[in-house]
Amino acid sequence: MMELQEYSYRFDELEVSTAIIEKFMGYEPGHAPEPIPQLIEEVFAVAHDYCDIKGGYVMQDDIRIDRSERTLRINNTYFEIKKIISNQLRKMDNIALFACTAGPRIGAYSKELMHEGDLVKGYIADVVGSEIVESAMDKIQDDLEQKMEARGLHITDRYSPGYCGWSVGEQHKLFSFFPNDFCGITLTDSSLMEPIKSVSGVIGIGPNVRRKGYVCNMCDMVNCIYREKRHTKRADRC
Ligand code: SF4
């Protein structure tokens, strides 16, 4: 089985709010001092023009988790996904490999603002870009969940190279499962995604898996940007 689904979104279809951006910046939602809320609104006002939001997934069913080796095999490709992810995916029967991007312009806009010396607004544009791609991926994951529930199946949380012990160096293997130029995302020699505001990874599928939340208490990646926010769905966060 190889099912491919592709999506595109407008900025105003996503759940990116001032409160979410304030929280990501370390403020109590609704309590960031001026000019932060004003600058967030200014970035939101132009975000539509700076976004090209695309994403999707490919499903595969020739898969196997080796829990002692902490590896994942998809067809003939092996991934060293390590302990946290192999535990969370161990009961899956199918897997969705996903990628999603906000497009190249929001990152370029942020850099341009910083280059001009507008560091705070540039940082806000950077945070907005990150939240756009996470919010779009939330929508894709929710749609996948609905489709699978209609078949009597469930899904896991999503896991990405570079997090939860999985090396970002395995990104090239992950992208080998996508059609060429999938969502306009390319990889650098060091396995980073271009556009920079992009995410990729895997989601487990099956009758015996669930979205349980991340097990960050088992992880020593203290500065992970997802440590706090991945525990709850974003709509519940603010
Ligand atoms: S802190 Fe949590 S989300 Fe981040 S890498 Fe560790 S387990 Fe994964």
Whose CA is closest to atom 1 on ligand 1? 227
pLDDT at 230: 53
Whose CA is closest to atom 8 on ligand 1? 164
Whose CA is closest to atom 2 on ligand 1? 216
Query: What separation in Å is there between the alpha carbon of 162 and the centre of ligand 1?
Result: 10
Query: What separation in Å is there between the alpha carbon of 35 and the centre of ligand 1?
Result: 32
Beta carbons of 199 and 100 less than 8 angstroms apart: yes
Is the Cβ atom of 197 under 6 angstroms away from ligand 1? no
Judge if pTM exceeds 0.85. yes
Query: What separation in Å is there between the alpha carbon of 230 and the centre of ligand 1?
Result: 8
Output phi, psi for 222, to 5 deg.
-65, -30
Give the Cα separation of 54 and 7 in Å (integer): 6
Choose one of 137, 157, 164 to mutate for the ligand 1 pocket test, by most ligand atoms within 8 angstroms of C-beta: 164
Beta carbons of 154 and 206 less than 8 angstroms apart: yes
Query: What separation in Å is there between the alpha carbon of 82 and the centre of ligand 1?
Result: 12
Is the Cβ atom of 199 under 6 angstroms away from ligand 1? no
pLDDT at 138: 95
Is the Cβ atom of 219 under 6 angstroms away from ligand 1? yes
Total domain count, the chain: 1
Q: At what angle do helices 36-47 and 119-149 cross, to 10 degrees?
A: 60
Output phi, psi for 53, to 5 deg.
-90, 115
Is the Cβ atom of 234 under 6 angstroms away from ligand 1? no
Output phi, psi for 135, to 5 deg.
-65, -40
pLDDT at 39: 97
Beta strands (DSSP E) in 160-224 are 186-187, 193-194, 198-206
Give the range of the structural domain holding residue 88, as residue numbers without chain letter.
2-236
Amino acid at the residue 11: F
Residue 162 is part of a domain; what is its CATH number? 3.40.109.40
Amino acid at the residue 58: V
Can you name the residues that pair with 98 across neighbouring β-strands?
57, 201
pLDDT at 205: 98
pLDDT tens across the length of the chain (238 residues): 578 999 999 999 999 999 999 988 889 999 999 999 999 999 999 999 999 999 999 999 999 999 888 999 999 999 999 988 999 999 999 999 999 999 999 999 999 999 999 999 999 999 999 999 999 999 999 999 999 999 999 999 999 999 988 999 999 999 999 999 999 999 999 999 999 999 999 999 999 999 987 777 767 777 776 676 554 444 443 3
**Residue 230, CA distances (Å) to 16, 121, 185, 200, 222 in order:** 15, 25, 23, 15, 14
Contacts of 75 (CB under 8 A, 6+ apart): 60, 62
180-188: Cβ within 8 A, 24+ apart: 182/56, 182/99, 183/6, 183/54, 183/55, 183/56, 183/99, 183/100, 183/101, 184/52, 184/54, 184/101, 184/103, 184/104, 185/99, 185/101
Is the Cβ atom of 81 under 6 angstroms away from ligand 1? no
